[in-house]
Chains A and B, each alone.
Chain A
Amino acid sequence: MRVEAEADLKALQATGLKKLKPDKPRIAVGLATCGAAVGGRKVYDRLREAIAREGAEIDLVQTGCIGYCREEPLVNITLPGKSLVILRKVTEADADAIVRAVLNGKVPEDKALCRVPAWDHVTGFVMEYGKGFDAIPLYQDVPFFAPQRKVILRNAGFIDPEDIGEYFAVGGYAAAWKALHGMEPEAIIAEVEKSGLRGRGGAGFPTGLKWRITRDAPGGAEKYLVCNADEGDPGAYMNRNEMESDPHMLIEGMIIGAFAMGLRHGLIYIRSEYPLAIERLGRAIGQAREYGILGENIMGTGLSFDIRIARGAGAFVCGESTALVASIEGRTGRPHPRPPRLTDPEGGLFGKPTDLNNVETWCNVPAIVANGSGWYAGIGAKGNTGTKVFSLVGKVDRVGLVEVSLGTPIRTIVFDAGNGGANGKKVKAVQTGGPSGGCIPLRLFDMPVDYESLNKAGSIMGSGGIVVMDEDTDMVDIARYFTGFATGESCGKCVPCREGLKHTLLLINRIQAGKASKKDLATLQEVCETIAATSLCGLGQTAPNPVLTTLAYFREEYEAKVRP
């Protein structure tokens, strides 16, 4: 069926709700990549066997990930009229007990992480699950969730990402309908501008402005709209989860953008290391076409817009916009000097002006259109509106994806959500922004996480990776690690990056081997400053940040290793 009237969308929502909140029990297993790998897949299989054995009337589905990775595998149980209950650390051995409990109208409370009486899916729909299970803590009382605000991960871990019906159920594609049928393109761009949304890929460029520039560029509809899904920062996986858990929200964001900018061709450039995300996106695109949401005459508007997937082939530098374009065009990812920018005439993909936004940027768009720019601008801080998903990993107790309002202090993320160091160790620093970011010491943890504060501290927002270091972490080794990474991922085009990083790595290796002198430290600082100042693209310009910040904040660790 094709969505051609608002009533179609309402009907699909009603049908979807019967799946999401059926009149029989429903068990949903978190099967994003990591949930599946830590045993979720086996749990799913055992549950299926148990249900079949019992001949039970239970719906078994898969869902994405709510982000509490430490507690995986996670399993949701919905009993009619009762609160949704999330079970934690479920193993194969628990399958029979779960099915038996569910058949008796119960849940295994010893396995329960929390209960969810109602859930706001943000784009205009609040799911009322029901009451009950009062002994189980409420979702918002779980310390890991307490400081969080879910806007981007609004559906993650609740709906089946492979079923467009469940996306309809939670109000999916209603924002696209509103935009395409009730708003002028100019009004949408104005809304996005007023919302204050900035690029979530790391640089923080105002999204609405980028859209405006692209729309005003010559080329008519034959321009490109591209989603950057080349999430390259090691230690960052929020984009993977967004695509694996809720692929339709990305598609919906792109549709709204395409309409606002008047474009027909959409592309998602995704790294090949994410096979499940590629599979689910492919499936979601297929479903959207089936319902007339992508392709010709979308949602009965007479407009055409379609999305294709282009896969990367293993190159971090292809997250850089000009290298990304080169890669899609079938060339090596060697950046070219800007200008021309992608949005310039002849500057983008196949010589056409091109709008490039990160996965998470797109995911914000339906929420902005559904609730208005004022609502969005009310979240976060001035100039840094909205939420951001961070991957909190490394030597932290509670590992996972944490979505908080921008401007939240690092301390809240690491200590309130993350509960500090793992195994009782003391936290020493965090590294934000991947290989382009820097190390921020504990004494600066009251700093709000926003684009400007992180830059001032010598780091960057990047895609949102936060890697926690504890008292045992050797900060020189961290600098060596990131320099090694950047050296291996340098495209090799310009000398400061190609040669400068190589010699930076050699110098750090000398320091680690106890063969360096104080003079070498000065050389290290000098060469890093030159790499930052003279490299051709963002990769090179930011690659020295891990060294420069550890030199600034943990100089004593370097000095302890060098001869006077």
Chain B
Amino acid sequence: MRYEIRIDGHLSERLAKAFPELDHVVMSDQTLLFGQIIDEAHLYGLLARFQSLGLLVVEMRRLPE
């Protein structure tokens, strides 16, 4: 399944490397991370990592295949 996750603020290149499995693009005042997510465990793991890095998830949606 492919997901797209919207983070509040510009994510530095360095911190983006904490998510090697996702691509990212910096928007006006947000960062969009997107990519293949293996399963639900991966999804929840990602959410926990966002939280532990102090990142605010503002939107998250599954992309059509």
Q: Is the pairing of A and B real?
A: no
- A interface residues with partner B (beta carbon < 8 Å): none
Q: CB within 8 Å of A: which residues of B?
A: none
